[in-house]
Structure 1
């Protein structure tokens, strides 16, 4: 008979999530340790403040974080890039079986989903182009996308920005198949090479075991997850059967919790400014349920319809999400413009001081001068 579920208060749930994401004290030690604890960093090139991968690391490590440390870890292959996420190189063992069997039905299903079948059919229809890319890389070595042959015959159709991005989509699927990998970057462009020359030679875990370990590491990095969530093509947002069952006060259904984060010691919280696609807030449904926080990334909205700003950063204080920072890094002028600090509810003077200190730390890390509105102490 299974043990009874853990019963968490709303505050317990918030603290489990914050602690798991390394957003309480003490801070982690270095970049590689942080990536291993978080399981992955999602990459995004938007530089309104800083690229997502760097912003996530700064929010954990503080202004002493040197972006060159991440670059070095990627260059020496301690960390590798896989489908837009930075992961510990040894974790390739968790994905190798999926790559070999691509495409793989989602957990609990025997058949592919419709979009998975369509992707596989499109790759098969462009098999000659796939073989041309592999032949080029074998002969020439690392190459930018623009240096690769594009002999696709069937165009990629999409209602989104990838429509007609034939070679780019083919490369994405070749990454998923374990055939090519990002070997580095030059001038902001990805350099591609054969996966066997990029990834470490580690034994692949059997598929079922690998998926279970992915779930376990995802839950360890998030602390508390729904057992099932929407299917995502690159990184799931649920916990599967990892961890132990939990119910959370005031929330529907059951959750999966990593019991290692159910530490009875005092929670030592701090203020933090979060990347809009960081794991604490990426699953907006989970975010809303656990933190009762209303937030969307508004960069895709017309300016007139934005409430909080183009790239507003969620504001964490202790175990609560309490507001949004609308700020822009103007590197030419050498300043970090704070256009607004949206405070949810009534902030104490102490909370405001903690958040302003984080804004100043962000500016220091970016090597910019903070420009704050007058009511926040600006000139």
Structure 2
């Protein structure tokens, strides 16, 4: 029998599970970074840099004292690794075996991507084995030497193929510049490297989604994942969990049947309504756009890939979450040379909430966000609706940017 949850309850379940009801849900410092990753399952990596990149932004949202060095140190300590979730991501090392099925599909040549030259792959592997970890640009320099029989692009593709099939791993980063090493030299000896069965993989996906979101659907569990039997296996795992009584099936209008952890029916939530979060467009909390539309009545699309004349809000908008409601979005850009954060266009869309309630905490969040982006000033270019412009600019005028 399906159970029902109120819209308010669904919001709180989502926000609590995502670590967006408290200021330090996963603790502080480097330990909090690992705690966050292990709870959420992954953090998406993105190369866009209008503001601080997505992986750092998503962690900063949940860890007020976050520093980029923490993530890099965890990679070097072999507690975190890079691979593919539904996109390029950081994952906890303890979950390594669950990426093996995808690695093996590529290694067996069953993917139409990463068609690298086997001779170049062999050369790249031998070079790293004999000379130690390498970056792509190390091979670029090598290809410029007189008498070289290959060039950089095949080597770069070989690195990517060797990484995707699990022969190489990323042992460190400098910004977006990756350093590759042999997987055998990166993987801790204690890590289980046995390939999971199809049902074990399905169980991992189900439990990761339930832990990270509180409730989930078949569509969200299998998001951007291929496999002829994946949906069947996930359904089988869900059915088994229903029968053992660890989860329940709930009815959510507009969504297919959802599954929820049973403890949420008795759980009390401590939501601070004064909290404002400025989320990355790639934040785990909003990555399922249909879910956010249905549960929060917030229609979010990233428009950087939309032709300029067709954009409704802006190139790189950040959703603004106030308590349990999305009140708008802001198109931002960090001008790093000038150390200035520009609010290109602030859109406030929820007119039911009085300005006095959200404005001061919003400005404080902007101040923190500017500092996070190494900016020392903030400029507001446009506000919609325009009648809010004077109030927002007045609050911004008194900002101080000391850490």
TM-score tier after normalising by the smaller chain length: 0.7 to 0.9
Match of 1:204 in 2: 193
Asked if the contact 1:363–1:370 (Cα under 8 Å) also holds between the matched residues in 2, the reply is yes
Match of 2:387 in 1: none
Structure 1 residues 87, 117: CA separation in 2 closer, same or farther (over 3 Å shift)? closer
Q: Which has the higher contact order (CA 8 A, sep 6+)?
A: 1
Runs of 5+ consecutive residues of structure 1 not aligned to the other structure:
105-111, 154-163
**Equivalent residues in 2 for 1:174-253, closer than 5 Å:** 174-186=162-174, 188-201=176-189, 202-205=191-194, 206-208=196-198, 209-229=200-220, 232=224, 241-242=237-238, 244-253=247-256
TM-score by length of 1: 0.82
**Equivalent residues in 2 for 1:66-215, closer than 5 Å:** 66-83=67-84, 84-96=88-100, 98-99=102-103, 101-103=104-106, 117-119=111-113, 122=115, 126-148=117-139, 167-186=155-174, 188-201=176-189, 202-205=191-194, 206-208=196-198, 209-215=200-206
TM-score by length of 2: 0.77
More helix per residue: 2
Q: CA deviation at 1:103?
A: 4.8
Structure 1 residues 15, 190: CA separation in 2 closer, same or farther (over 3 Å shift)? same
Asked if the contact 2:44–2:55 (Cα under 8 Å) also holds between the matched residues in 1, the reply is yes
Distance in 2, matches of 1:89 and 1:71, equals 14
- Partner deviation per Cα, 1:173-194 (whole Å, 9 max, x = no partner): 4333221111112464111111
Task: Report the secondary structure of 2:345's partner residue.
Answer: strand
Task: Report the secondary structure of 2:259's partner residue.
Answer: strand
Task: Report the secondary structure of 1:307's partner residue.
Answer: coil
2:259 is matched with which residue: 256, 259, 264?
256
Asked if the contact 1:239–1:256 (Cα under 8 Å) also holds between the matched residues in 2, the reply is no
Task: Report the secondary structure of 1:350's partner residue.
Answer: helix
Distance in 2, matches of 1:332 and 1:227, equals 46
Distance in 2, matches of 1:342 and 1:116, equals 46
Structure 1 residues 226, 197: CA separation in 2 closer, same or farther (over 3 Å shift)? same
Asked if the contact 2:18–2:285 (Cα under 8 Å) also holds between the matched residues in 1, the reply is yes
Larger Rg: 2
1:273 to 2:303 alignment: no
Structure 1 residues 329, 207: CA separation in 2 closer, same or farther (over 3 Å shift)? same
Task: Report the secondary structure of 2:178's partner residue.
Answer: strand
Structure 1 residues 313, 337: CA separation in 2 closer, same or farther (over 3 Å shift)? same
Provide the alpha-carbon RMSD of the alignment: 3.2
